[in-house]
Amino acid sequence: MRRGGRGLVVGAAVAMVVATIGLARASTLTVQEAILRAKPAVALITAQVGGEVTVDCGRGPITVTPPPFVETGTGWFVDGRGYVVTNAHVVDPPHRLPPWVTHELKKKAIDQACVEPALRAKGLMRGQQPDFEDQIRRGVSGQALATAKVVAQPQIIVQLSSGVKLAAQVRKFSAPLYIDNANQPLPDSGRDLALLQVAPGAYPALAVATRNPQIGDGVHILGFPGVVAAHELLNESATREASVTAGAVSGVKQDAIRQDLVQTDAPAAHGNSGGPAIADDAKVLWVMTFITLSPSGGSIVQGFNFLIPARDVLKFLQGTDVKQGESRFNIEWAAGLDLLFRERFSAAAVKIEQANRLTPDLPDVKRELAEAQFKIKNPPPRPFPWAWATLAVSLLSVGVYGGMWATRWWKNRFRVQPGQVIGFIEAGLSPLLVDVRTKTDYETSPLKLPGAIRLAPEDVDAGTITLDTDPKQLIVTYDTTPDEATSARVAARLRERGYKSVRILKGGLGGWTNARLPIEAKSSLPSIGLELYKNLTLGDAERRQFKAGETIFEQDADAHGEAFVVHSGAVEIRTRIDGGERVLARFGEGELLGEMAIFRQAPRSAAAVAA
């Protein structure tokens, strides 16, 4: 790790809900699933410079193979065909062979070729007499360093979490930011990114996000911190599998050459360099570049770790053959995880097994495959499918109520409210109002709608239609039968005879009067009855409802100044004669009763009962 500077509406709604649930599942991942999708694509990068060094310790040249210079970091497959992204400073030693690396090899060679033989000649081992070791080293270092010849053997290894090691070549390189002794950036300082290529295969891969991060966004850093690799209580497998730390974006900064950096409080350490930092969608939003060390003791200061934005990674990849995020492994692995998280264990096992065949023995893949196979043999208890039951009931309800609504709509498709008729008149459509009440209802009712013409339904049924009007004229029929049955029958006959715009007044004559709209009385009524009827009908009269057999007023009762108009139904006038009861008259819709008691100022001469 490089060190940084200084310290049907309803039916459609249900279908939309179902579709939305499916889309949400496809686009939203849990944190666990996002990390599992990403981890297999993260690899350990080992940058090594070894070779042979020829030194002269004063007794002639001698060639030795000192321990190689080794640096580790993190990389990630950006293309499943074998392209890996990491930090440039991780692979800089074997890629550019800077002088300080060959100098380190020479120093190790001097220890091996000059110091150790001198110690053995004295019967000593390394570390027994440090002062004597330094004396030997000072005696030979000047000449040996000046004349030493190094035949370097640089090597970059990409190690998968399965333990498979792959030799890598640098395909693109943007130099790291280095600071000189004057605290100025070196001229070739760049974005600190390197693109490696390994042998072709079907590797996991991570896609690079295109969105810009915001303060507070969640960050998950994947990598191989050196503290894990060197931990004495962990076995070798710990060095091959990426660790995950979590935090958030805590700031946006710039480096010494004004390149953007993202600050995070997600923990990181030496070895995390080059590792991907993902969001909850499993896409790479940042790349780890450097941490911050304490000015006093050199210890890591957490909360001040810095990342390269994804947009700079995409810019770096321009001009290469990389198809970022594409991988045959990803297709099977993502499908398997999705099925596993939805507890479809058999299907999940098939997909994860296919992913395992493409890139064998990745620990995460093996674990999830084992879990799926275990759950197949030992399925968890299934809770009652309340969601599906609710959906089924909802769909059934939608079907039932939808059918009821459709039936109601079909029945009422030609019906209009009284207020709509007034709207037709105001719009200049001049609807023709047609009275189609049955003969009995028409003869017993004293009122009609203003300007209405009479068309007997009995004549219509007989095929005689005497309407002197244009077939395109808007016609509104009305009657007094329940559910406008007579109007509906007549309207159908009129449409059959070519009248194109026939409507039915909903509620009939009673609906019109209840809406307090103007009415006319037949001329055959006596003038006093006509005036009484109009006053009662058009005035703010009280409406009462009586059930069949219920008494409206009793014989010999006080009239209380009340008269009645029948709005719907029928009323029988009964009297007591010789200990029995006889029906004297029967009144229908629109007829007056009880008015004579008002004029006579006498008790009721008979009783009125709802029929």
Mean of pLDDT values over 420-433: 90
User: Residue 456: phi, psi to the nearest 5?
Assistant: -70, 125
Mean of pLDDT values over 92-103: 92
CA pair distance 565, 446, nearest whole angstrom? 10
Q: What's the distance, CA 185 to chain centroid?
A: 46
Could you tell me where the beta strands, DSSP code E, fall in 227-337?
243-254, 260-264, 276-278, 284-290, 305-309
Confidence (pLDDT) at 135: 80
- On average, the pLDDT of the chain sits at 85
Cα end-to-end distance, the chain, whole Å? 100
pLDDT at residue 334 tops 50: yes
pTM over 0.85: no
Confidence (pLDDT) at 478: 93
With H, G, I as helix, E, B as strand and everything else as coil, classify residue 76: strand
CA pair distance 119, 399, nearest whole angstrom? 95
Confidence (pLDDT) at 69: 92
Confidence (pLDDT) at 565: 79
8 A C-beta contact, residue 249 and residue 262 = yes
CA pair distance 211, 602, nearest whole angstrom? 92
- Write the class of the CATH domain 9-317: mainly beta
Of 165-179, 228-242, 254-268, 529-543, the least confident:
529-543
Listed as own residue / partner, the contacts of 143-147 with beta carbons closer than 8 Å and 24 or more positions apart are 143/56, 143/58, 144/55, 144/56, 144/57, 144/106, 144/110, 144/113, 144/114, 145/103, 145/106, 145/107, 145/110, 147/55, 147/56, 147/61
CA pair distance 254, 185, nearest whole angstrom? 13
* Strands laid side by side in the 607-610 sheet: 551-553, 607-610, 571-577, 580-587
With H, G, I as helix, E, B as strand and everything else as coil, classify residue 117: helix
Q: Which residues pair with 573 in a beta bridge?
A: 585, 608
Mean of pLDDT values over 116-125: 83
8 A C-beta contact, residue 341 and residue 30 = yes
8 A C-beta contact, residue 57 and residue 147 = no
Confidence (pLDDT) at 355: 96
8 A C-beta contact, residue 185 and residue 75 = no
pLDDT winner (highest mean) among 160-169, 183-192, 374-383: 160-169
Contacts with 399 (C-beta within 8 Å, 6 or more apart), sequence order = none
Query: Which residue type sits at 182?
Result: A
More confident position, 25 or 310: 310
Q: What angle do CA 407, 410, 412 make, to 5 degrees?
A: 105
Domain with CATH 3.40.250.10 in the chain: 415-521
CA pair distance 433, 473, nearest whole angstrom? 11
CA pair distance 145, 52, nearest whole angstrom? 14
Inter-helix orientation angle 345-358/328-341, to 10°: 160
8 A C-beta contact, residue 132 and residue 122 = yes
With H, G, I as helix, E, B as strand and everything else as coil, classify residue 201: coil
Contacts with 152 (C-beta within 8 Å, 6 or more apart), sequence order = 49, 50, 51, 97, 101, 102, 105
User: Residue 583: phi, psi to the nearest 5?
Assistant: -85, 120
Q: Which residues pair with 585 in a beta bridge?
A: 573
8 A C-beta contact, residue 43 and residue 90 = no
Mean of pLDDT values over 527-538: 55
CA pair distance 264, 302, nearest whole angstrom? 9
CA pair distance 547, 492, nearest whole angstrom? 33
Domain with CATH 2.40.10.120 in the chain: 9-317
Fold for the domain defined by 415-521: Oxidized Rhodanese; domain 1 (3.40.250)
Confidence (pLDDT) at 12: 33
Of 127-131, 172-176, 468-472, 485-489, the least confident:
127-131
Structure tokens at 166: 């792959």
Q: What's the distance, CA 71 to chain centroid?
A: 43
More confident position, 332 or 535: 332
The two beta strands, 218-223 and 276-278, are antiparallel
8 A C-beta contact, residue 529 and residue 598 = no
Structure tokens at 610: 């709802």
Mean of pLDDT values over 404-419: 86
Confidence (pLDDT) at 81: 96
CA pair distance 315, 12, nearest whole angstrom? 44
Element (H, E) at 448: strand 447-448
CA pair distance 251, 215, nearest whole angstrom? 6
8 A C-beta contact, residue 442 and residue 455 = no
Please return the burial class of 275, using the count of CB atoms within 10 Å of its CB with bins 0-12, 13-18 and 19+. buried
8 A C-beta contact, residue 114 and residue 140 = yes
pLDDT at residue 598 tops 80: no
Percent of the chain at pLDDT exceeding 70: 88
Fold for the domain defined by 539-610: Jelly Rolls (2.60.120)
Length of the chain equals 611
Q: What's the distance, CA 381 to chain centroid?
A: 28
CA pair distance 89, 593, nearest whole angstrom? 107
Of 10-14, 91-95, 310-314, the least confident:
10-14
Nearest partner of 508 among 415, 411, 593, 405, judged by Cα: 415
Structure tokens at 209: 């996000």
CA pair distance 271, 228, nearest whole angstrom? 9
Residue for token pair 């060190």: 3
Confidence (pLDDT) at 128: 81
8 A C-beta contact, residue 353 and residue 369 = yes
